[in-house]
Chains A and B, each alone.
Chain A
Amino acid sequence: MFSAVALIIMMIFSRPLTEKLKEKITYPRTGYIKYASTPLKHRSTYVILWLGVAALLVLLVLVALIIGGESSGMTLIWILLPLVFSALIGMIAYSQKSKRYIFYAIFSLLSGLGSVIIAQQFPEAMRNTLVFGVGIMFPLGVVMIIGGIWTMINHLRQHSEPVDEA
């Protein structure tokens, strides 16, 4: 319940908060830019691609549930979760050309798969929370916050104080 509320609050406030930080820190130092919006054709290609991947994953889980029963379906979900997460972060790393996100992708894959193995030692009722919450989201969140702070400190070191423009 708490994590759901936290997630909703984060979704509502993350964009205006990021924009405020950019206005205060980034724009005065490195300048302001607004990218031209992605053409609709490209956007729809991405949406179709993601819907295709999501449909494939759902199909995989359904097949595992039908053929292997509930336990093998759940096992597949646990193995797929870290793979999907790291693939998503990997996509961000590729599109942003960011080494930091490549590290996040590898980290989430290792912590996720590690938690799948460790979770087998615990009762089945606890495994979802262990894999999704403790194994993937929490360590990834901590590493991303530390990585973000580190990047911000480096950015402030590399770029001088704001100066008035001509």
Chain B
Amino acid sequence: MIENPFPELDMVIHSPARLQIVSALVLLEEADFVYLLNVTKLTRGNLSTHLSKLEEAGYVAVEKTYKKNRPLTILRLTVQGREAYKLYRKTLLDFLK
């Protein structure tokens, strides 16, 4: 039997949009929705969908509040999210070596 030469990548992070989100958040303690919108250039709906998937996986913590009657969504990468990103990065780099 032939061994699969390709690494098993975390498909939650592997999507280009979610990889962008996680890569942006990994450098920060927290960021809001508007920042991620500017950085990723995704549409509001698209960004919301990807954030929901990351939240479901336990990689991103979402805190919805209000500031001066304006909705404010604060996003943080969880410890699990940081670990998953590290592992994803290592797996990909090892494969590409």
The answer to whether A27 touches B33 (Cβ under 8 A) is no
Nearest neighbor of A24 in chain B, beta-carbon distance: B68
A162 to B32, CA, bound (A): 14
Partner of A33, one of B30, B44, B48: B30
The answer to whether B33 touches A31 (Cβ under 8 A) is yes
**Contact count band on B:** 20 to 34
A162 to B71, CA, bound (A): 12
The answer to whether B38 touches A32 (Cβ under 8 A) is no
| A153 contacts partner chain B, Cβ-Cβ < 8 Å | no
Contacts of A161 in B (CB 8 A): none
Within 8 A of B (CB), among A145-161: none
The answer to whether A33 touches B35 (Cβ under 8 A) is yes
A105 to B45, CA, bound (A): 45
The answer to whether A28 touches B29 (Cβ under 8 A) is no
With A164-B70, A165-B71, A165-B73 as known contacts, state yes or no: A32 contacts B35, CB within 8 Å.
yes
The answer to whether A35 touches B72 (Cβ under 8 A) is no
A28 to B32, CA, bound (A): 10
Contacts of B35 in A (CB 8 A): 30-33
A27 to B31, CA, bound (A): 10
Contacts of A32 in B (CB 8 A): 31-32, 34-35, 72, 74
| A34 contacts partner chain B, Cβ-Cβ < 8 Å | yes
The answer to whether A31 touches B28 (Cβ under 8 A) is no
A28 to B45, CA, bound (A): 19
Q: What's the minimum C-beta distance from B72 to chain A, rounded to whole angstroms?
A: 7
| B27 contacts partner chain A, Cβ-Cβ < 8 Å | yes
A165 to B73, CA, bound (A): 8
A165 to B70, CA, bound (A): 8
**Besides the contacts A33-B35, A36-B28, A162-B70, what 5 more A-B pairs have beta carbons closer than 8 Å?**
A31-B32, A31-B39, A32-B32, A164-B71, A165-B71
